[in-house]
Amino acid sequence: MKGKRYSRQRELIYEALMGTTEHPTAEMIYQWLKPENPNLSLGTVYRNLNLMADEGRITRMAFPVERYDANTKSHPHFQCDRCGGVYDMDLPYRADLDEEALAHSEHQVTRHELLFHGICAQCKTLH
């Protein structure tokens, strides 16, 4: 873990994140783990998520409320405008967009994040 000592709580948080495709908030992970881990605090969840994100072990996603993703491979996302759900999109990462942005600006472009918006499949069937 890049010099950090082992933490059972950190591993529980990571396992919870690895076990879902929901892109949960820290609060969601806390609610999932709290019943079986009564000593867990929301602050511990935030600290460990931020530590793992800083290490590159997980991805911090800057939505209106930060969400986290155990899949660190670059990939696009979809956010539902009705329920707020965030989903992976099974589309290839377009490195050529990085190159194009670099060619059309003076910025040092290293990567991009692609976010689609609309109505998710579940919300479409409900309305």
Domain residue ranges of the chain, discontinuous segments joined by +: 8-69, 77-126
Residue 2 has pLDDT above 80, yes or no: no
pTM for this one? Answer: 0.62
Mean pLDDT of the chain: 90
Q: Give me the percent of the chain exceeding a pLDDT of 70.
A: 97
Query: What is the CATH number assigned to the segment(s) 77-126?
Result: 3.30.1490.190
What is the pLDDT averaged over residues 108-127? 89
**From CA 113, how far away is CA 110, in angstroms rounded?**
11
- Secondary-structure class of domain 8-69 per CATH: mainly alpha
DSSP codes, 37-75: -TT--HHHHHHHHHHHHHHTSSEEE-SSS-EEES--S--
- Helix, strand, coil shares of the chain as percentages rounded to 5? 40, 15, 45
What is the pLDDT averaged over residues 91-104? 90
